[in-house]
A and B are shown apart, each in its own frame.
Chain A
Amino acid sequence: MKPLTNLRMSWRAIRSHKLRSTLTTLGVVIGVAAVITFVTLGASLQAGIIGDISPDDRQNIYGWAAPEESSNQGPLAGAQPVFTQADVDGLSEQPGVRAAYGYTSIPTQSVGFGGERIPRQDAVVATGVEYVDEDEIADGRRFEYGQREAVLNPAMANAFERNVTVGDTITVTVVGGFAVNATVVGITTDSEARSPFEGFGPGPRVYLPLDPYYTQLVAEAQETPRFPAIVVEAESIEGVDRAKESTRSYLETDSDAQEQAEAANLTYELQTSTELLGQLQAVLDQLQAFVVGIAALSLLVGSIGIANIMLVSVTERTREIGIMKAVGAQRRDILTLFVTEAVIVGIIGSILGTLLGILGGWAGAQYIDIPLTYPVEWFAIAIAVGILVGVGAGLYPAWRGARTDPIDALRYE
């Protein structure tokens, strides 16, 4: 049988059972689309996170003190307020260290501007001047330590009906109802998280100097205010490991934190953003594998669907198979006809599925607001798998059909 004739005959068989063929194809479409959507989302999510770490972020060390059982649970897990201003001042004197400063988020009820109050629990961060890099300021300047000043990111600045601009005054109301004012002195270039402490996604943020805001608002009652986290900036990316070592030894020997850490049996967690990212990536990879696994399962279900329909189709066409064999069709001819049918379904299904998956990935990325990255090699894999599913699922039914004895088949009613 000529390949073109074979193709034409198989296509005709598919077309003569439109509804059945459509439903079968749908099984493959959904499977392939699910795989493509999820790998696209996974790839976009990962690319988004990796893209967030700017080079000068890679020389940062993020530190906190936590009970041993909290280790490896992500940034700030179990962090206790142990670091003093004296500790960060001492750390910034260490060799290979460019700057060191404290970090804490301030539990907030709302952020107010121009009579408008936006409830925000996680938006306000108190930290050092260097936390926001100079070149990350789009408008204005960084805040000054000890001043009642604030830097906002665009997401926060644009959250109010009238956009906040440099020179405006905002009101931060902390949990407990106490409100303080801050003059906005700078707006950042983007709304991305500026460190792993903030999490990895973008969001509205207010950056305030630890002094006076932390000391006044939260640690007012304490004799010496203590921060739950520190950021140490190494002088270079290459020097980050050395800086980490000297930070650890300083904390363990000369710091105010050590006394409390010993008393509460805390260990210092010191991690570079690369290390933190690695942990996060491992989690993401697992999640991705899990979701793609589920998607692959739906592809398997699709292939069982093809096999099932093909078996029905072979049985239903027993008499036709008998006729073809009676007039000279070899087993190979019958086999090819049915396998071709399954492969056509597989190809059409995986092409449509890929298109749908691309669309799904786009919609998903749009919805959770991450930049879109298409893992093109996966598309090729998905299409190949779709076709393989067709061959695999079609082979057994086709073989059954090919083996049919013509005389039995002709007698089949």
Chain B
Amino acid sequence: MDSTGGSAAVSLETVTKTYMVGEPVHALDGVDLEIPRGSYVAVMGPSGSGKSTLMNVIGCLDTPTKGTVYLDGEEVTTMSDRERTRIRGEEVGFVFQTFNLMPRLTAVENVALPLVFRGIPVGERRERATELLERVGLGDRLDHVPNELSGGQRQRVAIARALVNDPALILADEPTGNLDTETGENIMSLFEELHAEGNTVVMVTHERPVAEHAERVVHLLDGRIERIEELDAVGAEVES
């Protein structure tokens, strides 16, 4: 096993993602990043700077054009589709920028979906999903389909789904982007709880107050890491 990836939850080595649209677009351009286990990282940057691409690459949804990705010290870039799918389902909880809920499934069924592909029986699935929906404050919306939910409620369903497999690594792409301040605060305290329980949390945001909940802020610009900011417990900048 590679020494650089040894204990970190996530470790990227010169990761590049290039799209060929006429001339090459570097969504990620030689990114080196190490995210220690149990840490809380915010990713910031202007639109199009590669934040979502970075999350997708970490979450085994996308493969980098060049470079290596390690999750928990294991190289995922050379894994088979099958193995990467397993990691997506069982070890990573992904909250998408665009929710990505199944339109015809109810809130409970959406949250329980990752359990379906692990062969968990229906009773257990429903129980676990209900528990999580209650935790995000949607105990009274269990059997609503996404169309019958507000944007913020859908976001919370998506968060509950990301948590259903008890993942050690939680990746959230603008989880508060669609929420009012109060609900946003609730969600933020939920992430803080998850962090406190020892999970690794990586969160994309463009709101400074949200980012200040994290321990570190990674600033992206044009697919490169511009700088990494360490914050102390109260959210003030320690060094740059």
Which of A's residues lie within 8 Å of B, judged by CB?
Answer: 1-2, 5, 9, 12, 16, 319-320, 322-331, 333, 406-407, 410
Known contacts A331-B82, A410-B100, A324 near B117 by CB under 8 Å: yes
State which of B3-11, B87-95, B193-201, B208-216 sits at the interface with chain A.
B87-95
Within the complex, what minimum Cβ distance (angstroms) separates B194 from chain A? 18
Cross-chain contact A328 with B104 (CB below 8 angstroms) = no
Within the complex, what minimum Cβ distance (angstroms) separates A11 from chain B? 12
Contact of B119 (CB < 8 Å), options: A2, A16, A322, A325? A2
Q: Which 8 A-B pairs have the closest CB atoms?
A: A328-B89, A327-B114, A328-B117, A329-B117, A407-B62, A323-B100, A328-B114, A407-B61
Within the complex, what minimum Cβ distance (angstroms) separates B84 from chain A? 10
Known contacts A320-B102, A325-B85, A329-B85, A5 near B62 by CB under 8 Å: no
Residues of A contacting B56 with CB < 8 Å? 407
Q: Does B24 contact A (CB under 8 A)?
A: no
How far, in angstroms, from A320 to B116 measured CA to CA in the complex? 14
Cross-chain contact A323 with B102 (CB below 8 angstroms) = yes
Cross-chain contact A327 with B122 (CB below 8 angstroms) = no
How far, in angstroms, from A330 to B118 measured CA to CA in the complex? 10
Q: Does B86 contact A (CB under 8 A)?
A: yes
Contact of A326 (CB < 8 Å), options: B81, B90, B100, B122? B100
Residues of A contacting B86 with CB < 8 Å? 328, 330
Q: Does B51 contact A (CB under 8 A)?
A: no
- Tell me which of A327, A330, A410 has the highest count of chain B C-beta atoms within 10 A of its own C-beta: A327
Known A5-B116, A326-B88, A327-B88; 4 more pairs at CB < 8 Å: A322-B100, A329-B116, A333-B117, A410-B98
How far, in angstroms, from A327 to B96 measured CA to CA in the complex? 11
Cross-chain contact A5 with B122 (CB below 8 angstroms) = yes
- Tell me which of A323, A326, A330 has the highest count of chain B C-beta atoms within 10 A of its own C-beta: A326
Contact of A331 (CB < 8 Å), options: B61, B81, B98, B118? B81
Residues of B contacting A2 with CB < 8 Å? 116, 119, 121
Provide 7 A-B residue pairs closer than 8 Å at the C-beta atoms, listed in order of the A residue: A2-B119, A327-B88, A327-B94, A329-B85, A329-B116, A330-B86, A407-B61
How far, in angstroms, from A5 to B121 measured CA to CA in the complex? 9
How far, in angstroms, from A63 to B117 measured CA to CA in the complex? 76
Residues of A contacting B81 with CB < 8 Å? 331
How far, in angstroms, from A348 to B134 measured CA to CA in the complex? 40
Within the complex, what minimum Cβ distance (angstroms) separates B239 from chain A? 35
How far, in angstroms, from A319 to B89 measured CA to CA in the complex? 17
B: contact size bracket = 20 to 34
Q: Does B58 contact A (CB under 8 A)?
A: no
- Report B89-131 CB contacts with A as 1/0, cut-off 8 Å: 1100010101011111000000001101111011000000000
How far, in angstroms, from A100 to B162 measured CA to CA in the complex? 95
Q: Does B224 contact A (CB under 8 A)?
A: no
Cross-chain contact A326 with B116 (CB below 8 angstroms) = no
Contact of B118 (CB < 8 Å), options: A16, A320, A328? A328
Cross-chain contact B96 with A410 (CB below 8 angstroms) = yes
Cross-chain contact A328 with B102 (CB below 8 angstroms) = no
Cross-chain contact B104 with A16 (CB below 8 angstroms) = yes
Q: Does B161 contact A (CB under 8 A)?
A: yes
Contact of A1 (CB < 8 Å), options: B90, B119, B161? B119
Within the complex, what minimum Cβ distance (angstroms) separates B99 from chain A? 9
| Identity of the chain B residue whose Cβ is nearest the Cβ of A332 in the assembled complex | B82
Residues of B contacting A407 with CB < 8 Å? 56, 61-62
| Identity of the chain B residue whose Cβ is nearest the Cβ of A328 in the assembled complex | B89
| Identity of the chain A residue whose Cβ is nearest the Cβ of B89 in the assembled complex | A328
Cross-chain contact A12 with B104 (CB below 8 angstroms) = yes
Known contacts A320-B102, A326-B88, A328-B90, A406 near B118 by CB under 8 Å: no
How far, in angstroms, from A325 to B117 measured CA to CA in the complex? 9
Residues of B contacting A324 with CB < 8 Å? 102, 113, 117
| Identity of the chain B residue whose Cβ is nearest the Cβ of A2 in the assembled complex | B119
How far, in angstroms, from A2 to B118 measured CA to CA in the complex? 9
Known contacts A326-B94, A328-B88, A1 near B116 by CB under 8 Å: yes
Known contacts A1-B116, A407-B56, A328 near B122 by CB under 8 Å: no
Residues of A contacting B102 with CB < 8 Å? 320, 323-324
Cross-chain contact A327 with B62 (CB below 8 angstroms) = no
Residues of B contacting A331 with CB < 8 Å? 81-82, 85
Within the complex, what minimum Cβ distance (angstroms) separates A21 from chain B? 14
Contact of B85 (CB < 8 Å), options: A5, A9, A330? A330
Residues of A contacting B103 with CB < 8 Å? 320
Cross-chain contact A327 with B61 (CB below 8 angstroms) = no
Residues of A contacting B61 with CB < 8 Å? 326, 406-407, 410
Residues of A contacting B98 with CB < 8 Å? 410
- Report B116-154 CB contacts with A as 1/0, cut-off 8 Å: 111101100000000000000000000000000000000
Residues of A contacting B117 with CB < 8 Å? 1, 324, 327-330, 333
How far, in angstroms, from A327 to B61 measured CA to CA in the complex? 10
Within the complex, what minimum Cβ distance (angstroms) separates A69 from chain B? 71
| Identity of the chain A residue whose Cβ is nearest the Cβ of B91 in the assembled complex | A328
How far, in angstroms, from A329 to B161 measured CA to CA in the complex? 14
Residues of A contacting B94 with CB < 8 Å? 326-327
Residues of B contacting A323 with CB < 8 Å? 100-102, 113
- Tell me which of A1, A12, A328, A406 has the highest count of chain B C-beta atoms within 10 A of its own C-beta: A328
Residues of A contacting B121 with CB < 8 Å? 2
| Identity of the chain B residue whose Cβ is nearest the Cβ of A322 in the assembled complex | B100
How far, in angstroms, from A195 to B222 measured CA to CA in the complex? 96
How far, in angstroms, from A325 to B116 measured CA to CA in the complex? 12
Within the complex, what minimum Cβ distance (angstroms) separates B92 from chain A? 9
Within the complex, what minimum Cβ distance (angstroms) separates B19 from chain A? 11
Residues of B contacting A319 with CB < 8 Å? 100
How far, in angstroms, from A327 to B101 measured CA to CA in the complex? 11
How far, in angstroms, from A126 to B86 measured CA to CA in the complex? 88
Within the complex, what minimum Cβ distance (angstroms) separates A16 from chain B? 6
Residues of A contacting B114 with CB < 8 Å? 327-328
